[in-house]
Amino acid sequence: MGKNYRAELTGVFGDPVEGNPTGVMEEAAYQACGLNYRYITMKVTPEGFPDAMKAVKALHMKGVNLTMPHKITVLPYLDELSEAASIIGAVNTVVVREDGSLFGDNTDGKGFVHALLRSGESVSGKNIVVLGAGGAARAIAVECALAGAAFVTIINRTFSRAQELAELIRSGTKVGAKALAWNKSQDIPDGTDILINATSIGLMDDREQLPDINYETITPGMTVSDVVFNPSDTLFLQSAAAHGAKTVNGLGMLACQGARNFTLWTGMEAPLEVMIDTLKKEFGES
């Protein structure tokens, strides 16, 4: 019998999807493990999304990532959700199981928690403060609560969105949570163990921007993290480090999220260091 040249397909659906770095690290991971897998970055409009989801099954894909605007739209197409995805109400990773059923997970928050653990920090028993209340903040806050956080505080400019996320955490995870309005030169609450910038402030074209907080309220006992991955050493993290805080960058979170995707699709442990090195080279940080 001849060689099996059939490639297993994975990829991402989004609009826009240009500049998405996930494929670079997933392809590097597949190659490192000797897997005949491919990761395809695909522009899928909202109008084309139903046909794209049919194609996932028709092409016998292993799964796909989802970015905007499909993370919520995908829910009716799925047969089962992870606990986190069910609470968050959004999915960024779909797995096609052997029986053809579709499983949805949200790996954003899992990637964050894993990156923290790799740095020697755990969210268990910690007071968490999240800046922002968008999709990334939602995933991270919920996952921190599921991982045993003691309390979660959401700080956001639109107070009603902070309130909504705090209520979601209280009702979905039974962990205490509160909302604060993000005021000018916002103080970070006393007793904060882990502070997370879950906004896009500091990303690429905005890399000279800083979240408007009172950096004097960052203390040496805090761990400060940023979801921004390019650049990895953001001004926010530099400012936190200057006040004695331990910092964890967003590049690690992105790689750990990708590692979770890899394992869900292949059933194998991901070559995380390969994925991290690949991202560093992609962003010119090697």
Active-site residues, by number, are: 71
Asked if 151 and 127 count as a contact pair (C-beta separation under 8 A), the reply is: yes
Using omega within 30 degrees of 0 as the cis cutoff, is the peptide bond preceding 16 cis?
yes
**What angle separates helix 22-32 from helix 250-266, to the nearest 10 degrees?**
50
103: tokens are: 């499983």
Query: Half-sphere exposure of 122 toward its Cβ, with a 13 Å CA cutoff?
Result: 6
CA distance linking residue 141 with residue 145, whole number of Å: 6
Q: What angle do CA 280, 284, 285 make, to 5 degrees?
A: 50
The DSSP bridge partners found for residue 105 are: 93
Pairing of strands 223-226, 102-105: unpaired
Sign, Cα dihedral of 273, 36, 92, 149: negative
Closest alpha carbon to 278 in 267, 286, 270: 286
